[in-house]
């Protein structure tokens, strides 16, 4: 099949936060104008700090939250949140993996029960084939079929994450959203999970939306990368373009902050980061303005547009002349 599997354009979502009985509620713009394209068997990584809206974006894609504005196209058809049928079409083919596998598995349900549940909603698999399918999936993720009667606490952390991946895979999804799937695991186990995810992508042709803060892993597994800050798209493009020729000051600061070898070219960006004493507050203009070394008067008042620079999209007033 050709053509992108998932396209979003201008997704926005804001939340209201109460400030007491007599004050107007505070509006927090969690994500603002996010657009990207995800192709078949591609990996899109979403990179950003805490509070940058990465998880809200994942929730909107998964249908946990609805966007205020913007479009979501699944295989070229817009997903309408008014019609349940439309929405189900996407959400049957989309699964999530979370950060902490220990907390997302039911501690009292044996593995086969956890895996059967998605099958109940999937009419493609007849009931008498459930057992066969579960055994297949368990072998795919590197567990033994006889372990399907075990409870989650009998597994190690890495094995639990394998169960979480198995649960996502059991209804043969096309898109898997992985929200920091590695950060709760031990270092030597993380590599096993990365290998598993890459294998599954080759064999099953699933697309990943991969949310992570580990830029090394991001570079290793992704095709495209979306850099977010304060709920907005800072830079978006092919991984090699963005990581080799970062166009946004924030992307540069992010790459420069990776402790490592031979990044002298970007080292100057480390010093330029201003120390923020207060948390980010909402205002007009570019969200990165208070920490940006090249910010001008314009950046305080005007929100930058998404401008194409080289091969990628950068939202910065000074894009192209840094």
Pair 53, 228: CB distance under 8 Å = yes
Query: In the range 49-68, which residues lie near another protein by CB under 8 A?
Result: 49-50
Query: In the range 161-180, which residues lie near another protein by CB under 8 A?
Result: none
> Which of 92, 213, 238, 245 contacts another protein by CB under 8 A?
213
Six-digit token string for 151:
């409870």
Pair 191, 197: CB distance under 8 Å = no
> Which of 18, 127, 264, 277 contacts another protein by CB under 8 A?
277
Size of the site for another protein (CB under 8 A): 44
Judged by CB under 8 A, does residue 40 bind another protein? no
> Which of 75, 215, 245, 310 contacts another protein by CB under 8 A?
215
Nearest to 56 by CA among 79, 32, 38: 32
Neighbours of 279 (CB within 10 A): 6
Cα distance between residue 56 and residue 267, in whole Å: 32
Judged by CB under 8 A, does residue 44 bind another protein? no
Six-digit token string for 203:
């064999």
Query: In the range 120-159, which residues lie near another protein by CB under 8 A?
Result: 156-159
> Which of 106, 195, 268, 311 contacts another protein by CB under 8 A?
195
Judged by CB under 8 A, does residue 216 bind another protein? yes
Nearest to 10 by CA among 61, 59, 72, 56: 72
Strands 77-78 and 69-74: antiparallel
* β-bridge partners, 177: 96, 209
CB of 44 to another protein, least distance (A): 14
- Ramachandran area for residue 142 (φ above 0: left; ψ -120 to 50: alpha; else beta): left
Judged by CB under 8 A, does residue 265 bind another protein? no
Judged by CB under 8 A, does residue 100 bind another protein? no
CB of 161 to another protein, least distance (A): 11
Q: Can you give the binding site for another protein, defined by CB under 8 A?
A: 49-50, 156-159, 186-192, 194-195, 198, 213-217, 219-221, 239, 243, 253-263, 270, 273, 275-279
């Amino acid at each position: 099949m050709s053509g992108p599997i998932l396209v979003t354009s201008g997704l926005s979502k804001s939340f209201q936060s109460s400030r007491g009985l007599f004050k107007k509620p505070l509006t927090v713009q969690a994500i603002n104008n996010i657009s990207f394209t995800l192709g078949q068997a591609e990996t899109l990584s979403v990179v950003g700090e805490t509070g940058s809206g990465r998880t809200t974006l994942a929730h909107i894609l998964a249908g946990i939250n609805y966007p205020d504005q913007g479009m979501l196209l699944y295989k070229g058809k817009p997903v309408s949140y008014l019609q349940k049928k439309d929405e189900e079409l996407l959400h049957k083919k989309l699964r999530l993996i979370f950060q902490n596998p220990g907390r997302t598995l039911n501690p009292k349900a044996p593995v086969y029960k956890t895996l059967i549940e998605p099958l109940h909603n999937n009419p493609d698999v007849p009931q008498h084939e459930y057992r066969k399918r579960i055994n297949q999936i368990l072998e795919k993720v590197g567990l033994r079929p006889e372990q399907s009667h075990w409870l989650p606490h009998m597994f190690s952390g890495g094995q639990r994450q394998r169960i979480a991946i198995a649960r996502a895979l059991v209804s043969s999804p096309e898109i898997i959203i992985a929200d920091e799937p590695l950060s709760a695991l031990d270092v030597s186990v993380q590599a096993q999970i990365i290998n598993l995810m890459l294998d599954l992508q080759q064999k099953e042709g699933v697309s990943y939306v991969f949310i992570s803060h580990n830029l090394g892993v991001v570079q290793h597994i992704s095709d495209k990368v979306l850099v977010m800050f304060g709920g907005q798209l800072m830079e978006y493009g092919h991984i090699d373009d963005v990581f080799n020729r970062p166009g946004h000051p924030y992307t540069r600061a992010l790459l420069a902050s990776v402790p490592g070898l031979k990044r002298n070219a970007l080292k100057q960006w480390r010093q330029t980061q201003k120390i923020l004493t207060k948390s980010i507050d909402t205002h007009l203009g570019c969200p990165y303005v208070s920490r940006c070394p090249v910010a001008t008067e314009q950046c305080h008042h005007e929100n930058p547009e998404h401008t194409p620079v080289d091969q990628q999209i950068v939202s910065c007033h000074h894009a192209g002349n840094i």
